[in-house]
Amino acid sequence: MSTLTVVVPATDDPPTLERCLGAIRAADAAPEEVVVVRTPSELSASGARNAGALRATGEVIVFVDADVEVHHDTFRRVREAFAADGALTAVFGSYDDTPAHPGVVSRFRNLLHHHVHQQGAGPAETFWTGLGAVRRSAFAAVGGFDEARYPHPSIEDIEFGDRLAASGATVVLDPSIQGTHLKAWSLQSMLWTDLARRAVPWVALQLRTGRLSATLNCGWRHRGSAVAVLVFSLAVAWWAPAVAAGALGALVGLNRAFYGLLVRQLGPWNAAVGVLLHVLHHLVAIIAVPIGIGVVAVAFASAARSDEPVPATSAAAE
């Protein structure tokens, strides 16, 4: 079986690091090597992962975020995936359905990620660095993560996965590869991350590459939910109760499996809060579309004036 090097970016010395490393050491079929990138602190998350990859000696690099506790069977499943398919380039997993932080926003946000990844099993055109493995040779061949474009945690893993898929690589989402997320979310941090660090740069990426994703958060159910939320919001603003009720019914119908998960894990009252948070999540996605278009338009206009290629700018950069 392939040898594994785990890379953990930890330049901000997160308080969850020891729990992360403890889970890695205690796991079955533990990796042959663990590289924790603590310095220099100026490195971005992309830069820390690239630096760790350069130090790696294993045939497969497993990226694990410092706020993730891997399950006991994680590395056994990773090894088995690569052993079963010699053509496999990368595989990534999912958060589990028992997030560590007790807050409603944290639990909602992590359960949403869990549900989306559980529903997206199979061939993928993306990647996830929370818990994802890639052959070291393939990582080097496509140039690793784009540190210049993504100086802050953003969609560097999605963009990396897009380049992998464009090169003909085989990438698979295996939702049985799981870890517990230790992160605490506030409403403000969730909305800011969803807009500036995820949705806007993701829209910009799809416009720049001309490849529209139809997987995970860009799947038909997510797009349909966004349309339902838009209609619901407009109907409320224009006081059209029947239309609002129909749009809300469509949203519930499209997401009945996810809302069922919220009820089971959060209870009915907190699940109702989760539905409201889901509406906000989709409103952010809607708002991100014109912003992302504007970001790309400005970049192209600037490049045209300077007669240079489109600059590697990110809407997520502060």
Could you report the average pLDDT of every consecutive run of 10 residues in the chain (318 residues)?
95 94 97 93 90 97 98 98 97 96 96 95 95 98 95 94 95 98 96 94 88 69 93 94 96 96 97 96 94 88 67 39
Domain spans in the chain, listed from the N-terminal domain onward: 4-184, 216-306
What was the pLDDT predicted at 216?
61
What was the pLDDT predicted at 283?
96
pTM of the model: 0.91
Question: What class does CATH assign to 4-184?
Answer: alpha beta
What was the pLDDT predicted at 36?
97
What was the pLDDT predicted at 317?
33
What was the pLDDT predicted at 299?
80
What was the pLDDT predicted at 208?
86
Q: 64, 53, 216: which is closest to 145 by C-alpha?
A: 53
What was the pLDDT predicted at 127?
97
Distance from chain centroid for Cα 148: 19
What was the pLDDT predicted at 219?
74
